[in-house]
Amino acid sequence: MDISFRCNKCGQNIVIDAASAGQLVDCPKCRTPLEVPYKSKSLDKRVISPAKMRERYIALRWISASLKVAAVLCIVVGIAGGVACVVGGELSRYGTSADNTEHAVVSLMALVGCLLVGGLCALLLWAAGDLIMVFIDIEENTRALRELMETPLSTT
Ligand SMILES: [Zn+2]
């Protein structure tokens, strides 16, 4: 069985056969003589690789991405709805003697209303998506900070 530990000067991870426990070895990186511990320092087991980090919260990341896609769709639907209102209004006006100015104002209000609602929905969905990512970031930062604090400081 191997023992793994860190150089207390440069932090280099060292893996050595358990038969060397208690003996002095030179750090392969900075050549500091180090006493091989009898037990592995468990530090490395807690370190989560970036690849593993990306696997975590994969569902939340998907939801976040979906929310942002929905946000873009809201804008598209808002614009499409606004255009449909104007076009529909124009079409319905044919053959009637409706007041042009009044009609234009109503069409414009419908267009602005659709754009506002679409934009607001998009903003809220995008914010929700971002919020999820913020929580994931906070969690990852907290973990990284804890690992940093638990890593023995260099003794130089
Ligand atoms: Zn070293």
Beta bridge partners of 17: 2
Average pLDDT, the chain: 83
- pLDDT tens per residue across span 55-71: 778 888 899 999 999 99
Q: What is the Å distance from ligand 1's center to 152 Cα?
A: 13
Rounded to an integer, what distance in angstroms lies between the CA atom of residue 22 and that of residue 37?
6
Q: Which of 21-25, 50-54, 64-68 has the lowest mean pLDDT?
A: 50-54
32 and 56 assigned to the same domain: no
In a domain, 45, yes or no: no
Name residue, tokens 């500091």.
32
CA of 24 to the centre of ligand 1 (A): 13
Check whether residue 21 and residue 59 sit in a common domain. no
pLDDT band at residue 54 using 50, 70 and 90 as cut-offs: low
* Structural domain boundaries enclosing 86: 51-150
Range scoring the smallest mean pLDDT among 44-48, 55-59, 98-102, 123-127: 44-48
Whether residue 156 is contained in a domain is answered as no
Task: Tell me, yes or no, whether 59 and 133 share the same domain.
Answer: yes
Q: How far apart are CA 22 and CA 103, in angstroms?
A: 91
Question: Does 97 lie in the same domain as 76?
Answer: yes
Ramachandran area for residue 11 (φ above 0: left; ψ -120 to 50: alpha; else beta) = left
Shared domain check, 63 and 34: no
Confidence (pLDDT) at 65 = 93
Does residue 102 lie within any of the structural domains? yes
